[in-house]
């Protein structure tokens, strides 16, 4: 297939200072969950995007000096020459695929915790931003930088840029954003200096200007010097669009950087999940810049639609289409557009599991792309799979995310696949949950895989087919994969913090009941000790149906886990907006006579009651594994049917998030011949050396 001429503009080269990007697909710097200790993993995670057609791939934040240390969060570093080879690995791989490689040089100033290096933090005036989450709080303060510090700060940038050039990077960044070093000079409330670096905007922008000039002089003959700049806090109230200092900064520095990489100051806003922001939601923060500079502008917006990308360029918003999440979900997005296969794009669903992985300190995991982070250690490619023998047959029972992923990869490998689904719809939980407020994009997990399966002659799909063990034995395939999911229980959380049997009442419901259309009456209490999206989404859904809703949780925040995927603040705001009451740090210890009894989780154990007609418990899921257990219990039946392996995958094996189900289905499909045997995995190991 050939490219739709409508998308030709996306494949135009773009000049960036002394280098040229081969197209407009720009993989922006983003946290990857790998530090310098995982160079192979990191290089593979980046270079797979270059292979997939992204014209530029960047590192995540890369510390220029030990005084900028973000431990325990994984960050890259270029502290001395020993750090060059680990970066060269990624650069060489990117170059092999014809992409440019960029490095996001970073000094966190008062925003880096320095928990590992134990060096004092430094900032414009010794003021650091206030944190509202314990994990971000730091007991150490920062000291105000004197003139010598500023000279050193500039020198560290130059030294790191020279190392970056030695590693082969084509683009080096100055990072004036997101509460980091030079940005702290820019923000008037963090900069109280009275010297030439404080006061007027020109003074507050001086450090950024100087570093840009330093880098241009030091490496600008060969490397483009990009400025990553955050806008919205300078625009006034975060999120509001009004002319202010951000406009002045772009006008003032206009053509000094070779590239403007614009982003929102708030990571929460910049990475807003699909539940809270549409594709292209950054436009109000960045759309003004192109009128103020002749240099190329890049920005992100969770762009997965080539038409939306073209629109950004044609309307003069961006020159390069920046992407983190869309490039994680589909490293081959540009190639697919180039080859007229845009229907095959594995579109990011905006769930932000990738963000949570970084906070977890592990390589990025992705709901849509189970190969992300596995490129090096398991040799998984997002588009290529090892061929099967073309004869072996596999029966997959259940067409949720796990079953669909498994069947589509088995099909791609060339096996004879039968996918049996009890219901009339494919998609399992994503089909149901994508009807929750804000989760419509989650149906992409189903749609992408269904689209692939429908084009495969070797995959037969049977709907309305609830299989029993007898059916499976009668069918008699070489391998059986059971992907029958899980269901919510009415177990409650006991006072010892562990789930236990719940309350006997017709007015107690699970999320499955609510989603299946159960009739709830009166005020509703949702007791959430799952802490992810379900409690908050059900609260929204039921409030939308006119119920008084109170969300009770034993945590001290609503949907507490969503701090990890950057959704928590938005969830809380939504609850407030909708008038959903919240009761934190409480367990539900009784439900009778139209009221729930709440008991405080701390030692005083205060007991109160709230009137309610229905109690929804969002806590524990149990595997729907009866079929699997029956199959493995009957070894003779399997032998008679010629079945050589029976495996369970996804929620049927261990209930988890959708990302776990997809991964489990993918892994099973790649390893079907080996049964439960764990494939050897390559681990990165430190090299021992003498001091």
The residue ranges that bind ligand ADP (CB under 6 A) are 397-403, 420-423, 428-429, 465-467, 483-485, 624, 627, 650-652, 661
Beta carbons within 10 angstroms of residue 81's beta carbon: 12
Please state the closest distance from residue 345 (CB atom) to ligand SF4, in A.
Answer: 12
Please state the closest distance from residue 395 (CB atom) to ligand ADP, in A.
Answer: 10
Residue nearer to ligand SF4 on the CB measure, 369 or 392: 369
Q: Which does 400 bind (CB under 5 to 8 A by kind): ligand SF4, ligand ADP, none?
A: ligand ADP
DSSP annotation of 370 reads: T
Using the rule CB under 6 A, is 367 a contact of ligand SF4?
Answer: yes
Please state the closest distance from residue 521 (CB atom) to ligand SF4, in A.
Answer: 36
- Joined together, the tokens standing for residue 689 give 């050396």
Residue nearer to ligand ADP on the CB measure, 354 or 395: 395
CA atoms within 13 Å, Cβ hemisphere of 688: 0
Q: Which stretch binds ligand SF4 (CB under 6 A): 222-230, 290-298, 306-314, 365-373?
A: 365-373
> What are the phi and psi torsion angles at 454 (to 5°)?
-60, -25
CB-CB contact of 309 with 10 (8 Å): yes
Cis upstream peptide for 72 (omega within 30°): yes
Q: Which does 34 bind (CB under 5 to 8 A by kind): ligand SF4, ligand ADP, none?
A: none
Residue nearer to ligand ADP on the CB measure, 423 or 437: 423
For residues 108 to 137, the per-residue mask of contacts with ligand SF4, x marking binding by CB under 6 A and - elsewhere, is ------------------------------
Please state the closest distance from residue 517 (CB atom) to ligand ADP, in A.
Answer: 16
Residue nearer to ligand SF4 on the CB measure, 354 or 486: 354
Please state the closest distance from residue 592 (CB atom) to ligand SF4, in A.
Answer: 41
Q: Which does 403 bind (CB under 5 to 8 A by kind): ligand ADP, ligand SF4, none?
A: ligand ADP
Q: Which stretch binds ligand SF4 (CB under 6 A): 102-110, 346-354, 453-461, 542-550?
A: 346-354
Mapped onto helix, strand or coil, the DSSP state of residue 100 is strand
Q: Binder to ligand SF4 among 329, 539, 580, 616 (CB under 6 A)? A: 329
Q: Which does 397 bind (CB under 5 to 8 A by kind): ligand SF4, ligand ADP, none?
A: ligand ADP
Residue nearer to ligand ADP on the CB measure, 388 or 655: 655
DSSP annotation of 680 reads: P
Mapped onto helix, strand or coil, the DSSP state of residue 644 is coil
CB-CB contact of 229 with 176 (8 Å): yes
**Partner residues linked to 396 by β-bridges:** 419, 481
Q: How many residues line the site for ligand SF4 (CB under 6 A)?
A: 13
Strands 416-420 and 393-397: parallel
- Give the 3-state secondary structure percentages of the chain, helix then strand then coil, rounded to 5: 35, 20, 45
Q: Which does 499 bind (CB under 5 to 8 A by kind): ligand SF4, ligand ADP, none?
A: none
Using the rule CB under 6 A, is 430 a contact of ligand SF4?
Answer: no
Classify 188 in phi/psi space as left (phi over 0), alpha (psi -120 to 50) or beta. alpha
Using the rule CB under 6 A, is 337 a contact of ligand SF4?
Answer: no
Mapped onto helix, strand or coil, the DSSP state of residue 386 is coil
Using the rule CB under 6 A, is 325 a contact of ligand SF4?
Answer: yes
Q: Which does 632 bind (CB under 5 to 8 A by kind): ligand SF4, ligand ADP, none?
A: none
Using the rule CB under 6 A, is 304 a contact of ligand SF4?
Answer: no
Q: Which does 368 bind (CB under 5 to 8 A by kind): ligand SF4, ligand ADP, none?
A: ligand SF4
Please state the closest distance from residue 464 (CB atom) to ligand ADP, in A.
Answer: 9
Burial class (CB in 10 A: 0-12, 13-18, 19+), 96: exposed
Residue of 170, 291, 163 lying closest to 226 (CA atoms): 170
CA atoms within 13 Å, Cβ hemisphere of 646: 24
Strands 581-583 and 524-528: unpaired
**Partner residues linked to 20 by β-bridges:** 15
Mapped onto helix, strand or coil, the DSSP state of residue 15 is strand
Q: Which does 204 bind (CB under 5 to 8 A by kind): ligand ADP, ligand SF4, none?
A: none
**How many helical (H) and strand (E) elements, i.e. helices and strands, does the chain have?**
23, 30
Q: Binder to ligand SF4 among 34, 59, 352, 566 (CB under 6 A)? A: 352
CA atoms within 13 Å, Cβ hemisphere of 258: 25
Residue nearer to ligand SF4 on the CB measure, 348 or 617: 348
Q: Binder to ligand SF4 among 328, 402, 514, 620 (CB under 6 A)? A: 328
The enclosing H or E element of 658 equals helix 658-670
Residue nearer to ligand ADP on the CB measure, 210 or 530: 530
- Joined together, the tokens standing for residue 1 give 């297939």
CB-CB contact of 465 with 452 (8 Å): no
Please state the closest distance from residue 74 (CB atom) to ligand ADP, in A.
Answer: 28
The enclosing H or E element of 11 equals none
Please state the closest distance from residue 308 (CB atom) to ligand ADP, in A.
Answer: 29
Q: Which does 317 bind (CB under 5 to 8 A by kind): ligand ADP, ligand SF4, none?
A: none
Q: Which does 349 bind (CB under 5 to 8 A by kind): ligand SF4, ligand ADP, none?
A: ligand SF4
Please state the closest distance from residue 352 (CB atom) to ligand SF4, in A.
Answer: 5
Q: Which does 99 bind (CB under 5 to 8 A by kind): ligand ADP, ligand SF4, none?
A: none
Beta carbons within 10 angstroms of residue 649's beta carbon: 30
Mapped onto helix, strand or coil, the DSSP state of residue 340 is coil
Residue nearer to ligand ADP on the CB measure, 405 or 570: 405
Using N-to-C axis directions, what is the helix angle for 84-96 and 147-167, rounded to 10°?
50
Q: Binder to ligand SF4 among 160, 348, 641, 668 (CB under 6 A)? A: 348
Q: Which does 483 bind (CB under 5 to 8 A by kind): ligand SF4, ligand ADP, none?
A: ligand ADP
Q: Which stretch binds ligand SF4 (CB under 6 A): 82-90, 227-235, 360-368, 504-512?
A: 360-368
Residue nearer to ligand SF4 on the CB measure, 329 or 483: 329
DSSP calls for 410-444: HHHHT-EEEEE-SSSSSSTHHHHHTTSTT-GGGGH
Using the rule CB under 6 A, is 353 a contact of ligand SF4?
Answer: yes
Give the CA-trace dihedral at 461, 467, 473, 478, to 10 degrees.
Answer: 30
- Unique residue bearing structure tokens 């859904």: 541
CB-CB contact of 257 with 174 (8 Å): yes
- Joined together, the tokens standing for residue 128 give 């650091």
Using the rule CB under 6 A, is 350 a contact of ligand SF4?
Answer: yes
DSSP annotation of 688 reads: P
Please state the closest distance from residue 349 (CB atom) to ligand SF4, in A.
Answer: 4
Q: Which does 328 bind (CB under 5 to 8 A by kind): ligand SF4, ligand ADP, none?
A: ligand SF4
Please state the closest distance from residue 121 (CB atom) to ligand SF4, in A.
Answer: 30
Q: Binder to ligand SF4 among 27, 349, 385, 669 (CB under 6 A)? A: 349
Distance of alpha carbon 494 from alpha carbon 461, whole angstroms: 43
Residue of 302, 300, 280, 282 lying closest to 444 (CA atoms): 302
CB-CB contact of 70 with 43 (8 Å): no
Residue of 562, 611, 602 lying closest to 584 (CA atoms): 602
Please state the closest distance from residue 420 (CB atom) to ligand ADP, in A.
Answer: 5
Please state the closest distance from residue 572 (CB atom) to ligand ADP, in A.
Answer: 28
Sign of CA dihedral 676, 672, 33, 561: negative
Residue nearer to ligand ADP on the CB measure, 392 or 624: 624
Name the site residues for ligand SF4 (rule: CB under 6 A).
325, 328-329, 348-354, 366-368
């Amino acid at each position: 297939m050939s490219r739709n001429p409508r998308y030709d503009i996306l494949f135009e080269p773009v000049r960036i200072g002394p280098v040229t990007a081969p197209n407009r697909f720009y993989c922006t710097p983003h946290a990857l969950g790998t530090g310098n200790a995982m160079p192979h993993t990191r290089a593979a995670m980046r270079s797979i995007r270059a292979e997939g057609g992204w014209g530029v791939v960047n590192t995540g934040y890369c510390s220029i000096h030990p005084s900028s240390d973000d431990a325990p969060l994984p960050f890259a570093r270029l502290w001395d020459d020993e750090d060059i080879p680990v970066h060269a690995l990624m650069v060489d791989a990117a170059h092999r695929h014809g992409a440019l490689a960029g490095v996001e040089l970073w000094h966190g100033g008062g925003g880096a915790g320095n928990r590992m290096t134990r060096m004092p933090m430094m900032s414009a005036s010794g003021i650091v931003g206030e944190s509202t989450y314990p994990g971000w709080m730091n007991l150490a303060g920062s000291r105000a930088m004197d003139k010598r510090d500023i000279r050193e700060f500039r020198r560290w940038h130059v030294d790191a840029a020279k190392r970056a050039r030695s590693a082969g990077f084509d683009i080096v960044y100055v990072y004036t954003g997101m509460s980091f070093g030079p940005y702290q000079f820019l923000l008037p409330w963090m900069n109280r200096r009275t010297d030439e670096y404080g006061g007027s905007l020109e003074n507050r922008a001086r450090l950024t200007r100087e570093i840009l000039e330093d880098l241009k002089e030091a490496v600008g003959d060969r490397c483009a010097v990009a400025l990553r700049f955050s806008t919205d806090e300078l625009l006034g109230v975060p999120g509001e669009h009004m002319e202010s200092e951000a406009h002045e900064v772009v006008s003032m520095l206009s053509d000094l950087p070779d590239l403007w990489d614009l982003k929102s100051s708030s990571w929460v806003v910049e990475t807003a999940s699909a539940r809270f922001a549409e594709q292209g939601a950054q436009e109000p923060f960045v759309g003004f810049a192109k009128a103020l500079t002749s240099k190329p502008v890049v920005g992100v917006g969770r762009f997965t639609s080539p038409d939306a990308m073209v629109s950004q360029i044609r309307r003069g918003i961006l020159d390069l289409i920046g992407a983190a999440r869309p490039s994680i979900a589909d490293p081959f997005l540009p190639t697919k557009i180039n080859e007229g296969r845009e229907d095959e794009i594995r579109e990011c669903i905006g769930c932000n599991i990738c963000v949570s992985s970084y906070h977890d300190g592990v390589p990025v995991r992705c709901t849509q792309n189970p190969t992300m982070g596995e490129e090096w250690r398991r040799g998984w490619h997002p588009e290529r799979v090892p061929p099967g023998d073309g004869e072996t047959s596999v029966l997959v029972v259940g067409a949720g995310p796990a079953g669909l992923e498994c069947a589509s990869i088995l099909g791609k490998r060339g096996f004879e696949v039968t996918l049996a689904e009890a219901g009339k719809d494919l998609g399992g939980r994503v089909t149901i949950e994508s009807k929750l407020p804000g989760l419509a994009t989650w149906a992409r997990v189903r749609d992408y895989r269904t689209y692939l399966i429908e084009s495969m002659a070797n995959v037969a799909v049977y709907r309305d087919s609830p299989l029993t063990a007898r059916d499976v034995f009668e069918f008699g395939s070489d391998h059986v994969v059971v992907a029958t999911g899980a269901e919510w229980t009415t177990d409650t959380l006991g006072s010892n913090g562990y789930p236990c049997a719940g309350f006997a009442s017709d007015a107690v419901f699970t999320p499955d009941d609510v989603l299946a259309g159960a009739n709830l009456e009166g005020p509703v209490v949702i007791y959430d000790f799952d802490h992810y999206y379900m409690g908050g989404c059900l609260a929204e859904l039921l409030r939308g149906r006119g119920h008084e809703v109170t969300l009770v949780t034993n945590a001290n925040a609503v949907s507490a886990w969503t701090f990890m995927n950057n959704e928590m603040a938005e969830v809380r705001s939504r609850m407030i907006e909708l008038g959903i009451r919240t009761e934190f740090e409480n367990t539900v210890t009784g439900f009778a006579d139209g009221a729930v009894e709440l008991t405080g989780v701390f030692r005083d154990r205060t007991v109160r009651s709230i009137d309610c007609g229905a109690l929804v418990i969002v806590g524990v899921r149990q595997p729907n594994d009866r079929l699997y257990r029956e199959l493995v219990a009957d070894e003779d039946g399997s032998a008679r049917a010629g079945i050589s392996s029976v495996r369970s995958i996804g929620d049927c094996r261990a209930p988890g998030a959708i990302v776990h189900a997809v991964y489990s289905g993918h892994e099973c499909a790649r390893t079907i011949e080996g049964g439960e045997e764990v494939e050897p995995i390559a681990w990165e190991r430190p090299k021992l050396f003498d001091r």
